[in-house]
């Protein structure tokens, strides 16, 4: 009897736990990982993107290869056309009706384009400073950079990685020390560094910048940048201007409650400093658009 108990504890119990884990795993997810794990590892070696992140995004964005976008257009990562895309495309309803998505000849091309999309996008540059095995940092960074609008996107990626043990493919990706892609060389051609304020990405305008040049670099639209930063189309960017890449929030982050007006402050400059929509800043302070803050005034941020 004692022998049986020991046998159960050391042999059967781990086996039973493994079987239980296998039972709750989605068979389609398991099949997808089996089919594309080697491709994700290759992308990791080439572009220094964690294989676990590539696989989890592929699983989530394509529904394990079962989405219509994946089946009909081989688009496994939900990448939209953007201004720079001149390849084949299809139209699907997403955040808005009838949006343009990239189409590929095969899944391999989708995986390759996903890597190039991340490595060439300045908004994602900060991710490559993370440890390549830090899948949690990558997942949160992707959400922070605006890859998806789903507020739970990072947690969903992390859950998939841990439930299906995708982190083990990161170790396989590290086993080969071949460095095909020189990250330093790639970073040197990125003209702007992206910063974060109020959970929003922004850049600092340089001399000669225009809305069009920044929009082209970050694969967005000049008119969107103008609107998101509460500016007008006839405004000329000045060196040092803060330019947000997404719509600003309705209030500042929790650590900022009030701003004491300093010399040369304006309601717009304060809204840019804290990442607050200008109309909401006026509303929070019960002021009209004609209000001009004076030195020493208290401007509520939340």
User: In 3D, which of 67, 57, 78, 28 has the Cα closest to residue 166?
Assistant: 57
Contact 141, 130 (CB under 8 A): yes
Tens digit of pLDDT for each residue in 175-222?
754 444 444 444 434 568 888 888 888 898 988 889 988 888 887 889
The pLDDT of residue 95: 67
Contact 211, 220 (CB under 8 A): no
Contact 180, 187 (CB under 8 A): no
Tens digit of pLDDT for each residue in 63-111?
999 999 999 999 999 999 987 788 899 998 776 788 899 999 999 999 9
Tokens 């095995």: give the residue: 133
The pLDDT of residue 272: 93
Contact 293, 266 (CB under 8 A): yes
Contact 158, 57 (CB under 8 A): no
Cα radius of gyration (the chain): 24
Q: How confident is the model at residue 287 (pLDDT cuts 50, 70, 90)?
A: confident
Torsion angles phi and psi, residue 165, rounded to 5: 50, 45
Longest dimension (CA), the chain: 86
Tens digit of pLDDT for each residue in 263-286?
888 899 999 999 999 999 999 999
The pLDDT of residue 178: 44
Contact 301, 273 (CB under 8 A): no
Look up residue 42 and give its two tokens: 């290759």
Q: How confident is the model at residue 233 (pLDDT cuts 50, 70, 90)?
A: confident
Domains, the chain: 20-187 (1.10.530.10), 195-244 (3.10.350.10), 258-300 (3.10.350.10)
Q: Is 80 exposed, middle or buried (0-12, 13-18, 19+ CB in 10 A)?
A: middle
Contact 57, 114 (CB under 8 A): yes
């Amino acid at each position: 009897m004692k022998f049986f108990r020991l046998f159960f504890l050391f042999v059967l119990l781990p086996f039973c736990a493994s079987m239980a884990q296998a039972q709750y795993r989605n068979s389609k997810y398991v099949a997808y990982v089996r089919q594309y794990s080697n491709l994700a590892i290759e992308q990791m070696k080439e572009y220094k993107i964690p294989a676990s992140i590539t696989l989890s995004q592929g699983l989530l964005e394509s529904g394990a290869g079962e989405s219509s976008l994946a089946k009909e257009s081989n688009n496994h990562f939900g990448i939209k056309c953007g201004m720079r895309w001149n390849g084949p495309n299809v139209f699907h309803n997403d955040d808005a009706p009838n949006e343009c998505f990239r189409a590929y000849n095969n899944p391999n091309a989708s995986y390759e384009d996903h890597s190039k999309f991340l490595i060439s996008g300045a908004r994602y540059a900060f991710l490559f400073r993370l440890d390549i095995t830090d899948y949690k940092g990558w997942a949160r960074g992707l959400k922070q950079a605006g890859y998806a609008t789903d507020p739970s996107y990072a947690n969903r990626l992390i859950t998939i990685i841990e439930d299906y043990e995708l982190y083990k493919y990161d170790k396989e990706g590290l086993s080969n020390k071949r460095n095909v892609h020189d990250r330093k060389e790639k970073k040197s051609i990125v003209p702007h560094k992206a910063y974060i304020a109020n959970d929003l990405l922004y850049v600092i305008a340089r001399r000669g910048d225009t809305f069009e040049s920044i929009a082209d670099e970050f694969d967005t639209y000049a008119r969107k940048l103008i609107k998101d930063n509460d500016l007008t189309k006839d405004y000329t960017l000045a060196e040092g201007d803060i330019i947000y890449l997404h719509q600003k929030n309705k209030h500042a982050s929790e650590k900022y409650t009030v701003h004491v007006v300093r010399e040369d402050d304006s309601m717009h400059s304060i809204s840019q400093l804290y990442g607050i929509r200008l109309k909401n800043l006026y509303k929070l302070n019960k002021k009209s658009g004609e209000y001009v803050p004076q030195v020493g005034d208290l401007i509520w941020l939340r």
